[in-house]
Structure 1
Amino acid sequence: MQDLRIVGISGNVKAPSRTSSLVAAVLRQIESRFGSSGRHIDLAVSAPALFRALRVDQLDEEGTEIVRAVESADVLVVGSPVYRASYSGALKHLFDLVHYEALAGKPVILAATGGTPLHGLMIDHQLRPLFSFFKALALPTSVYALESDFNSYAVASSDIQKRIRAAVHELELIVPHARTLALARAEEQSRLSA
């Protein structure tokens, strides 16, 4: 059986980052519920490999691998800091390189961090239309966190943890067989190692 391919993308361009921590928290919850390991692409680290190219055919091996990981994901978690009322340019550039048909029908959990509660509107006014273009399934519950929701870059708010759990529950409704497959795989591996 094949693992569920879970990819988290943090659109931040500096580290440490609250956005990266938020995406990591969502990934951990998915991993816990589905029994599959996820991959976290932090653009603070990966953006230079992507910025070396304006088109996908100009990417080097490292950049191509990043784009292919996004395109082949079964589930995406996409987060960005709110910057000038939108998502980061680094995140935009990554999705400029993703094939327009590659994400059709794939579930996406949207997340963002910002300075005021009003910045949370960016998810619905900017991120949702982006994934609508790709015909991806942006889940209804998004996760938006303020600076006050963190303690030393770690998610500290019980309300944010609750939203993360709600989004992952929606994912389970969209991909109900994934958890069953993961549990069966774990039982099979346990029997083989015994």
Structure 2
Amino acid sequence: MPRFLNTVVINGSLHRPSRTRVLLDEVTQRIAYDVALQTQFIDLVDLVPSIGTALSKEDLNPAAQQALQRIEQADFLIVGAPVFRGSVPGLFKHLFDLIDMDALTAKPVLLAATGGSARHGLVIDHQLRTLFGFFHALSLPAGVYATSGEIQDGKIASEALTARIELVASLSAPVLHGTLNQQRQHIAERAVA
């Protein structure tokens, strides 16, 4: 019986260190208080040399191919991207252009983003939700957006952001427990058959 959700956290930032990674780390840790996660991280900055020149999966180097495979095989995705000039980085979108069209169907996805100001906060609903809607993924009901002022020196520096992370985690937990229970039921049914 599965005891953990195979979770892949995707950091769409092209920089290291990354405020987006700080946010994703905090969200992942908070969700892990309520739901058992087996977590793997994928940082887009590590894949840039291969992703940037790839027109298909076959063009990717082995590390990038493995990253795509981990995304496609995950039970749960936590996805975050920085916002530049009202949009996510093109290479972040291109990473998902290479994902199999049916691989994310019904997969729960928690969406996160970071940006310089509150002006970009709607990127979660206007871009990320539509991207994962295309894949028929199950975007969780609330995402979390953080401004550069809310993450300082590699740490969450805002009580309001901490409260939003708590809210996102509490809203996500029932869906994730349901996903884990569904997996257990499928395994039990296969064992009986």
> Taking structure 2 as the reference length, what is the TM-score of the superposition?
0.86
SS in 1 for 2:55: coil
For 1:49-79, what per-residue CA distance to the aligned partner results, in whole angstroms no more than 9, with x for missing partners? 3234220122222111000111111111111
Equivalent residue number for residue 75 of structure 2: 74
d(CA) in 2 for partners of 1:39 and 1:156?
Answer: 25
d(CA) in 2 for partners of 1:32 and 1:90?
Answer: 32
C-alpha deviation, 1:13, in angstroms:
0.4
Residue 176, structure 1, aligned to residue 177, structure 2: yes
**Range with greater deviation from structure 2 (167-176 or 61-70):** 167-176
Counterpart of 1:109, as a letter, is L
Equivalent residue number for residue 41 of structure 2: 40
**Range with greater deviation from structure 2 (159-168 or 62-71):** 159-168
SS in 2 for 1:102: coil
For 1:147-193, what per-residue CA distance to the aligned partner results, in whole angstroms no more than 9, with x for missing partners? 11012021122221222222222222112246789xxxxxxxxxxxx
Please show how residues 1-194 of structure 1 align to structure 2 within 5 Å.
Answer: 1-2=1-2, 3-177=4-178
Contact 2:117 2:147 in 1 (8 A): yes
Contact 1:6 1:38 in 2 (8 A): yes
> Taking structure 1 as the reference length, what is the TM-score of the superposition?
0.86
Contact 2:81 2:88 in 1 (8 A): yes
Contact 2:31 2:173 in 1 (8 A): no
Runs of 4+ in structure 1 off by over 4 angstroms are 177-181
d(CA) in 1 for partners of 2:171 and 2:22?
Answer: 21
**Range with greater deviation from structure 2 (66-75 or 24-33):** 24-33
RMSD: 1.8
d(CA) in 1 for partners of 2:24 and 2:126?
Answer: 20
Contact 2:22 2:156 in 1 (8 A): yes
SS in 2 for 1:38: strand
Instruction: Give aligned pairs, total.
Output: 181
d(CA) in 1 for partners of 2:131 and 2:33?
Answer: 28
Contact 1:108 1:139 in 2 (8 A): yes
For 1:78-116, what per-residue CA distance to the aligned partner results, in whole angstroms no more than 9, with x for missing partners? 111111211111211110111111111111111111111
SS in 1 for 2:163: helix
Equivalent residue number for residue 188 of structure 2: none
Contact 1:5 1:74 in 2 (8 A): yes
Unaligned runs of 5+ in 2: 183-193
